Structure formats: structure tokens, C-alpha cells
Amino acid sequence: MIASEINPVVATVRGQRWHVGCLYDQETDEQPQLHYSHMLNVGGAYAPAAAVREGVAPTNAG
């Protein structure tokens, strides 16, 4: 995620009861700076997959 995408994505997945374990960036000189997150949810295959799609929606992931 880029910086402007962090809050919408985290709010969306937390609203669906995902645990957001960490948020970090690995490369400090890249532009745009990319941020990564570890998130955890349990359930059948379809509900978490739909939640991931909704969480990705605010990004430029297409």
C-alpha cells in the first residue's frame, strides 16, 4: 500500500474482524514508498476472500 491507502484499508479489514498484526516498509528509498501489513482472519474460504477483495478496493491494485 502507499501511505494514502493505509487508513482506508486498515479500517475496512478491522471492520470485518481481521487482526492487523503489523505495518511496515522495507525499502526507505523507493518512490512511492510501499507499506506492507500482516493481517489474520479465520473462516471458510469464501468469507475471508471476499473481505480481502473489499480491503483491496481502496487501493490502486486494480
Cell of 14: 478491522
Query: What is the C-alpha to C-alpha distance for residues 54 and 58, in angstroms, rounded to an integer?
Result: 8
Structure confidence at residue 62 (pLDDT): 59
Structure confidence at residue 19 (pLDDT): 92
pLDDT tens digits for 13-59? 899 889 999 999 988 788 989 999 998 988 888 888 888 888 888 88
Please check whether residue 60 is in contact with residue 5, taking contact to mean a CB–CB distance below 8 angstroms: yes
DSSP conformation letters of 25-37:
-S-SS-SSPP-EE
Give the global pTM.
Answer: 0.74
- For residue 58, whether the previous peptide bond is cis, meaning omega lies within 30 degrees of 0, is no
